[in-house]
Structure 1
Amino acid sequence: MSTSRTDAAVRARRQATQEMLQRLQTALAAMARDHTAVTVAAVARTARVSRTFLYQNQQARALIEQTTRSSAPHPGASADGHSRTQPAWRERALNAEEALAQAQREIRTQRTHIAELLGKIRDLEHDLPEGSLQRIVTENTTLKQQVRQLTQDKQHVQERLASARQNNRFLDRRTADLEAQLAPYVTAPHPPSP
């Protein structure tokens, strides 16, 4: 039974790898068509695969190398840097747009969360009757004072308990010493009664 599960897991992994390789081929073809610079980050983003997959899978590395070799400028090609800088600029712009979109999503999420929390605070404030806020603050102060007093009382009682235990140990030792002194008299034979 575990062998069939293992076989199924291996088949599923191989199928997932083939799907990722297919997406990689599609992404590389689109990048070559658009004359986009082939970088690991851009390929991973376009193909929706992890960078780890691109580094560890031999077929993926071979596909990337093949694409970079075929898209490399030929010796007779024009040497102007415009065609090379445009893809790099384009990738930076895409990265910036993606970061901006992610930041805006995060800001929206945070604003929604803050609004919900402020709403909860307002709801709690409306539920309180007039003057109850001052009463709650006063009760909180009183409870804090009671906690301090109880803590001091507990410490005092613990000190008294430690002293009582020490006195008890001293009395136990004193009792043992007195019993040791009386032991010879207790074990001595009694004179016969007349």
Structure 2
Amino acid sequence: MNTAAIPEPRTAAALAARRRSAETALQRVSEAITRLRREKAQVSVAAVARRADVSRTFLYDNPEARAAVASAMAEAGERRTQMLTLDERLKAARSNLRFQDRRVADLEARIADPGPAPSTAELESAASGEKRGP
């Protein structure tokens, strides 16, 4: 059996090449996240992996890549939550506006056709809070 040790210079060169490769991949991941944000596209592990031309395994195994993707996903989730909150507020405002429109229309109709004028006795009883029979 041949148990010859790998010479040190080759190991160092291989490790340096691996580091450069990982740094290049991290740069592509960062650029992919920036593009996804700019395009307002969904940020996910799969989307970043496709855009950065890296494997999903790399994104999960590399701590820096995993942190960058997690941060981008959390930020995108916060924006979605803010948009939902704004949508809910807009719906409530529109509902309130419809209610106010109906109320104004009702009051305008009452002004246009007030009906029979109340008698003086009815006005006095309404003012004093008494209820009289017909």
Change (3 A) 1:44 1:75: closer
Deviations 1:39-69, CA, capped at 9 Å, x for gaps:
2211111000011101111010000011112
| Alpha-carbon offset, residue 71 of structure 1 | 2.0
Tell me which residue corresponds to 1:18. Answer: 23
Q: Please, which of 20, 36, 39 is the counterpart of residue 34 of structure 1?
A: 39
- Corresponding residue number in structure 2 for 1:134: none
1:47 is aligned to: 52
**CA shift for structure 1 position 75:** 8.5
Highest Rg: 1 or 2?
1
Matches of 1:40 and 1:76, distance apart in 2: 20
Structure 1 stretches lacking a partner, 5+ long:
81-194
How far off is 1:76 after superposition? 7.3
Letter in 2 for 1:52: T
Identity over aligned pairs, percent: 40
- TM-score (norm: length of structure 2): 0.55
Other structure's SS at 2:78 match: coil
Partners of 2:25 and 2:54 within 8 A in 1: yes
Pick closer, same or farther for the CA change 1:6–1:53 going to 2, 3 Å.
same
Are 1:62 and 2:62 matched, yes or no? no
Paired position in structure 1 for 2:10: 5
The alignment of Structure 1 onto Structure 2 pairs a total of residues equal to 80
Superposed, 1:1-194 pairs within 5 Å as 2-74=7-79, 77-79=82-84, 80=87
Give CA deviations for 1:108-151 in whole Å, capped at 9, x if unaligned: xxxxxxxxxxxxxxxxxxxxxxxxxxxxxxxxxxxxxxxxxxxx
Distance 1:76 1:61, change over 3 A: closer
User: What RMSD in Å do the two structures reach over aligned CA positions?
Assistant: 1.9
Question: Normalising to structure 1: TM-score of the pair?
Answer: 0.38
Q: Which residue of 2 aligns with 1:131?
A: none
Q: CA 1:70/1:76 → structure 2, altered by over 3 Å: closer, same or farther?
A: closer
Aligned residues of 2:43 and 2:76 also touching (Cα < 8 A): no
Hey, which of these two has a bigger chunk of helix by percent?
Answer: 1
